[in-house]
């Protein structure tokens, strides 16, 4: 007899056998967290369980929480459920939650990507009877260029701007995307400047053992000549704010999977679009689902119906859960992050306005 090991409740995804929730959006007694993005990791829960790899980032974002961690693949029992966490490859510490009860296995994937990068453990397929998946980019048009080619393109763009005496500004999510870009930059081109919200997460990454190049904040007193050769990483919410004025006549770029859609760069009002996402593209989604061997798939957020329809047409039982996932702000709701907020305040002391602090 088939059992629903994970169900949907008003608080979030619920495992009755273990009496715990996965990434709940309302306060609960026990929360298993897939990763530290704000739509998956929230304050207010009594107990948290997450991956050991992501501990520093999660604490930086949520503050003083009652947190227990597991290394990837380590198993523990919660009630009648055997629970383990497995790499999702999305951001530092991201995990898929494997739940086994009486021989039946369900996996809740959170967010994930299949292409490895230098800032987190690569995605690991986990066999399951049922798989709960995102579908942020669940349309066949979304197919990502190779990461090495993207980073080479970005460095070449930066080098050209630096030679012309023009700062290069990259707008990217403060958590995950920014560090992935940082890890691929060539620091020989010029100084790397990070917005306070980005730098707060950089520290958590470095404290977790992730190698990133040296970075500075504008409050560190770089002179005008250095800023004209700099690559600046800032959350999208910083765009068109007074904080940007110190970089003069800069060139800008927006890093996102959405840049694959025609017109997205124009709507963002930037010079260049970098098609880089921390989520799986269409082939990645199908590959990940296939690797699980799951006969049942539940889609949580993104382009839900196209993926459900494709799976159904190919003989897989598919449905959807209506969740609160996928509602990250452009800056990944930095206002909820205690460390990032503090860093923004420190940078404000060096000249940042109140509006810029609110922007993260």
CATH of the domain at 231: 3.40.50
Is 333 contained in some domain? no
Q: Looking at the structure, tell me whether residues 37 and 186 fall in a common domain.
A: no
Q: How far is CA 223 from CA 217, 231, 343, in A?
A: 12, 14, 21
Residue-averaged pLDDT of the chain: 90
Is 2 contained in some domain? no
Q: What does DSSP say about strands 231-234 and 130-135: parallel, antiparallel, or unpaired?
A: unpaired
Please tell me the chain's helix, strand, coil percentages from 3-state DSSP, rounded to the nearest 5: 30, 25, 45
Please report the pLDDT score of residue 286 as a whole number: 98
Q: Model confidence over 204-258: pLDDT tens digits?
A: 999 999 999 999 998 898 899 999 999 999 999 999 999 999 999 999 999 999 9
Q: Looking at the structure, tell me whether residues 204 and 286 fall in a common domain.
A: no
Exposed/middle/buried for residue 263 (C-beta within 10 Å: 0-12, 13-18, 19+): exposed
Q: Model confidence over 132-191: pLDDT tens digits?
A: 999 999 999 999 999 999 999 999 999 999 999 999 999 999 999 999 999 999 999 999
Is 321 contained in some domain? yes
Number of domains in the chain: 2
DSSP tag of 229: T
CB atoms within 10 A of CB 149: 9
Q: E strand or H helix at 342, and its extent?
A: helix 338-348
Ranking 2-11, 172-181, 226-235, 306-315 by mean pLDDT, the lowest is 2-11
Mean pLDDT of the 319-335 span: 67
Contact of 120 with 109, CB cutoff 8 Å: no
**Dihedral sign computed on CA atoms, order 49, 50, 55, 61:** negative
Query: pLDDT at residue 332 above 80?
Result: no
Is 340 contained in some domain? no
Contact of 280 with 288, CB cutoff 8 Å: yes
Q: Looking at the structure, tell me whether residues 320 and 232 fall in a common domain.
A: no
Helix (H, G, I), strand (E, B) or coil at 79: coil
d(C-alpha 325, C-alpha 307), whole Å: 16
Query: pLDDT at residue 267 above 60?
Result: yes
CATH number at residue 58: 3.60.15.10
Please report the pLDDT score of residue 339 as a whole number: 36
Contact of 360 with 344, CB cutoff 8 Å: yes
Is 354 contained in some domain? no
Q: Looking at the structure, tell me whether residues 212 and 248 fall in a common domain.
A: yes
Domain that holds residue 272: 147-276
Mean pLDDT of the 256-282 span: 93
- The residue from 241, 276, 311 where one domain ends is 276
Is 357 contained in some domain? no
Contact of 330 with 163, CB cutoff 8 Å: no
Which are the contacts of 283, defined by CB distance < 8 A and separation ≥ 6?
143
Q: Model confidence over 87-108: pLDDT tens digits?
A: 999 999 999 999 999 999 999 9
**Dihedral sign computed on CA atoms, order 272, 204, 58, 354:** negative
Question: Alpha helix (H) ranges present in 173-281?
Answer: 177-183, 196-207, 224-227, 264-268
Query: pLDDT at residue 291 above 80?
Result: yes
Please report the pLDDT score of residue 134 as a whole number: 98
Per-residue exposure over 187-198, b if at least 16 CB sit within 10 Å of its own CB, e if not = eebbbbbbbbbb
Query: pLDDT at residue 345 above 70?
Result: no
Which are the contacts of 225, defined by CB distance < 8 A and separation ≥ 6?
none
Q: What does DSSP say about strands 317-320 and 296-302: parallel, antiparallel, or unpaired?
A: parallel
Q: E strand or H helix at 160, and its extent?
A: helix 147-163
Is 162 contained in some domain? yes
d(C-alpha 16, C-alpha 34), whole Å: 18
Q: Looking at the structure, tell me whether residues 46 and 111 fall in a common domain.
A: yes
Contact of 235 with 359, CB cutoff 8 Å: yes
């Amino acid at each position: 007899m088939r059992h629903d090991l994970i169900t949907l409740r008003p608080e979030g995804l619920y495992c009755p056998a273990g009496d715990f929730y996965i990434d709940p959006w309302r306060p609960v007694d026990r929360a298993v967290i897939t990763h530290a993005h704000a739509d998956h990791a929230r304050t207010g829960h009594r107990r948290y369980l997450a991956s050991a790899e992501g501990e520093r980032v999660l604490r930086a974002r949520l503050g003083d929480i009652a947190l227990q961690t597991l290394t990837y693949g380590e198993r523990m029992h919660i009630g009648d459920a055997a629970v383990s966490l497995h790499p999702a490859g999305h951001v530092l510490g991201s995990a898929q939650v494997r739940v086994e009860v009486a021989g039946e296995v369900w996996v809740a994937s959170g967010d994930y990507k299949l292409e490895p990068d230098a800032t987190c453990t690569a995605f690991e397929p986990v066999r399951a009877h049922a798989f709960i998946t995102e579908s942020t980019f669940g349309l066949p048009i979304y197919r990502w260029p190779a990461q090495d080619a993207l980073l080479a393109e970005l460095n070449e763009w930066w080098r050209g701007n630096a030679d012309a005496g023009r700062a290069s500004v990259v707008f990217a999510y403060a958590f995950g995307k920014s560090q992935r870009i940082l890890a691929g930059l060539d620091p020989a081109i010029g100084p790397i400047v990070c917005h306070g919200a980005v730098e707060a997460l950089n520290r958590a990454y470095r404290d977790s053992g992730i190698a990133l190049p040296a970075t500075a904040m504008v409050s560190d007193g770089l002179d005008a000549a250095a800023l004209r050769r700099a690559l600046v990483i800032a959350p999208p919410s910083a765009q068109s704010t007074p904080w940007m004025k110190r970089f003069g006549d800069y060139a800008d770029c927006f890093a996102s999977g959405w840049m694959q859609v025609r017109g997205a760069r124009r709507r963002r009002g930037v010079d260049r679009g970098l098609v880089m996402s921390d989520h799986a593209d269409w082939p990645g989604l199908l590959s990940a689902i296939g690797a699980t061997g799951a006969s049942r798939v539940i889609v949580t957020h993104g382009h839900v119906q196209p993926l459900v329809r494709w799976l159904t047409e190919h003989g897989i039982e598919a449905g959807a859960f209506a969740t609160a996932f996928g509602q990250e702000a452009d800056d990944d709701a930095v206002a909820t992050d205690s460390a990032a907020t503090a860093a923004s305040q420190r940078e404000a002391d060096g000249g940042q306005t109140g509006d810029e602090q609110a922007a993260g």
